[in-house]
Structure 1
């Protein structure tokens, strides 16, 4: 393996992450619609804690658990932001 091969693998993974992030965001929007219909808040701290805990338990490394939590905090924050934007537009 050389650096170009490794970078190509990273590029492929980045493309897959992009697809996954957008798929996750679409699901979060669907959940947002359901929450809106049920008059539930966008923010659900207990759900987020469960996600963080599960991701830490499933984490094989080399990223440590706190790095995993920070990454998922960012993903969840962006999903929540999108959910708020989209549900407020429909008012």
Structure 2
């Protein structure tokens, strides 16, 4: 493969990641609404730890487990922020 072909594949994957990130965020918003109705906190440290542990266990590289955890910490943090924004002022 040429550099341009590899970059095209990276661009395709980036577009797919964008779609997946937004789909995940939509699901997080649905969970936020359910949590709000049940008067549950947005932050669930046990759930977050399970996500990071599972992603590390499923990781086959080349990214190391610490890199995977950092990436998922960011994704989860943004989901939590979105949940808080969406439910702000409703309490």
| Bucket of the pairwise TM-score, normalised by the shorter protein | over 0.9
TM normalised by structure 1 equals: 0.97
Match of 2:2 in 1: 2
Whole-angstrom distance in 1 between the partners of 2:89 and 2:62: 41
Runs of 4+ in 1 over 4 A off after TM superposition: none
Give the superposed CA RMSD: 0.9
Map of 1:36-55 to 2, 5 A cutoff? 36-55=36-55
Whole-angstrom distance in 2 between the partners of 1:2 and 1:25: 34
Match of 1:70 in 2: 70
Whole-angstrom distance in 1 between the partners of 2:33 and 2:77: 17
TM normalised by structure 2 equals: 0.97
Match of 1:33 in 2: 33
Match of 2:86 in 1: 86
Following TM superposition, by how much is the alpha carbon of 1:32 offset from its aligned partner in structure 2, in angstroms? 0.1
Whole-angstrom distance in 1 between the partners of 2:86 and 2:46: 23
Whole-angstrom distance in 2 between the partners of 1:51 and 1:79: 13
Following TM superposition, by how much is the alpha carbon of 1:59 offset from its aligned partner in structure 2, in angstroms? 0.2
Whole-angstrom distance in 1 between the partners of 2:22 and 2:89: 19
Matched, 1:22 2:22: yes
How many residue pairs were aligned? 91
